[in-house]
Amino acid sequence: MPRIIPIKDLKNTSEISQMCQEATEPIYITKNSYGDMVIMSMKMYEEKLYMLDIYNKLAAAEAQIAKGIVLDSDVSIKSLRAKSNV
């Protein structure tokens, strides 16, 4: 379940930092009872960026397949072996 805290709670920075480190999802900050910000640990942020990169690469690969831009597996393996000197 997402954690939601009011902006006034950001005054206790060490507690917020610990909360971010322990959280498994972003923490939502409200201002005047409306959503205002989202915070998360650096580790979680990097994981999210990594997953976004993977999804973007998968979408690009699927688009290439849909356009018929594919290589024969034998040709690809031979090319990889030549580059790796295997």
CA 46, chain centre distance (Å): 6
Structure token pair of residue 2? 């997402």
**What confidence category does residue 86 fall into, taking pLDDT thresholds of 50, 70 and 90?**
confident
Task: Say what the pLDDT of residue 85 is.
Answer: 86
Radius of gyration of the chain (CA): 22
Please report, for the chain, the start and end positions of each structural domain, with discontinuous segments joined by +.
Answer: 3-40, 43-84
Task: Identify residue 86 by its one-letter amino acid code.
Answer: V
What superfamily in CATH does domain 3-40 come from? YefM-like domain (3.40.1620.10)
Segment 24-69, tens digit of pLDDT:
999 999 999 999 999 999 999 999 999 999 999 999 999 999 999 9
Beta strands in 1-86 (DSSP E): 3-6, 27-31, 34-39
The pTM score is 0.74
Residue 71 has pLDDT above 90, yes or no: no
User: What is residue 31's predicted lDDT score, i.e. its pLDDT?
Assistant: 97
